[in-house]
Amino acid sequence: AQRVTQPEKLLSVFKGAPVELKCNYSYSGSPELFWYVQYSRQRLQLLLRHISRESIKGFTADLNKGETSFHLKKPFAQEEDSAMYYCALREANTGNQFYFGTGTSLTVIP
Amino acid sequence: DTGVSQNPRHKITKRGQNVTFRCDPISEHNRLYWYRQTLGQGPEFLTYFQNEAQLEKSRLLSDRFSAERPKGSFSTLEIQRTEQGDSAMYLCASSLGSLADGYTFGSGTRLTVV
C-alpha cells in the first residue's frame, strides 16, 4: 500500500517566489514525517523532521493529521534549492524503516 | 570518518552473474540499513542490522539476495544470478540509536545488469 504520495514529479518556480512541495500520507498508526533532499551529484540527506518543528534553509513543514499531509514550504525560493525532495514516513518510536515517496524534482529558475 | 562509504560506485554485470557490494557505516553507528532505488522511485527498504544481527528483511529481498554484517561493522549485500530487474541504485545508511534523527546515507552503488 502506498504510504507516502508526492503528487508532483516536477516543479518549477522562479527565484524569489514561494514554493510548496506536497506530501500526503496514509498510515493507521502514529507516524513521524521527514523530508530528505538530494542535491545534484550528492547523497540523500535529511532536511527536516516534523517532531523538531525546525526551519532548515528557510524550509518549514507542518504535520496536518486531519488532512494527512506534510507539505514542505519556503516563502522565497533560491537557485540553490534546486534538488530532488523526498517525503518519508516511519512508525513513531518503533519503526526501523522509512517509507519514501517517489520524490519531487524542484527547479528554481533564475 | 567522513560518513557512510559504499563500494563500488558503479557495477556493470552480465545477467546471471553474482555481485557483491560493500558498505562501511559511520564507525559509532550500530544500525545499518540497505535500500534499493529504481528510476523514478523513492528508496525502498531491503533490510536492517543492529550490530551483527539482521533484524528485519523486506519481502523485496528475494532468495537471491543476502546481506551480512559479520562483525557489526561493515556490511555486504550479495545478489546471486542477477536479473535485469535488479538494475538499480543500492543505498546503504546508518544510524545510532533512535531513528528520530533520521539516517546518514551513503552515495550508493549503481548496478546495471546487461
Percent over 90 (pLDDT), chain B: 82
Tell me if residue A85 falls in helix, strand or coil: strand
State the pLDDT confidence band at A2, using cuts at 50, 70 and 90: low
Per-residue pLDDT of A65-81, as tens digits, reads 899 999 999 999 999 99
What average pLDDT does range B6-12 have in this prediction? Answer: 97
SS (H, E, C) chain B: CCCCEEECCEEEECCCCCEEEEEECCCCCCEEEEEEECCCCCCEEEEEEECCEEEEECCCCCCCEEEECCCCCCEEEEECCCCHHHCEEEEEEEECCCHHHCCEECCCEEEEEC
At A54 the pLDDT is 80
Burial class (CB in 10 A: 0-12, 13-18, 19+), A90: buried
Kindly state the cell numbers that stand for B41. Answer: 522511485
State the pLDDT confidence band at A1, using cuts at 50, 70 and 90: low
State the pLDDT confidence band at A92, using cuts at 50, 70 and 90: confident
Looking at the complex, report in whole angstroms how far the Cα of residue B108 sits from the nearest Cα belonging to chain A.
8
Q: Do residues B65 and B90 lie in contact, with contact meaning Cβ atoms separated by under 8 Å?
A: no
Low-confidence winner among A24-38, A74-88, B90-104 (lowest mean pLDDT)? B90-104
Per-residue pLDDT of B26-54, as tens digits, reads 998 999 999 999 999 999 999 999 999 99
Interface contact flag, A99 B45, Cβ < 8 Å: yes
Looking at the complex, report in whole angstroms how far the Cα of residue A97 sits from the nearest Cα belonging to chain B.
6
Residues of B in contact with A32 (CB under 8 A): 99-100
Nearest CA in chain B to A10: B40
What average pLDDT does range B77-85 have in this prediction? Answer: 97
The A residues from 47 to 86 touching B (CB cutoff 8 Å) are 49, 51, 86
Number of Cβ within a 10 Å radius of residue B47: 23
What average pLDDT does range A71-98 have in this prediction? Answer: 92
Looking at the complex, report in whole angstroms how far the Cα of residue B95 sits from the nearest Cα belonging to chain A.
10
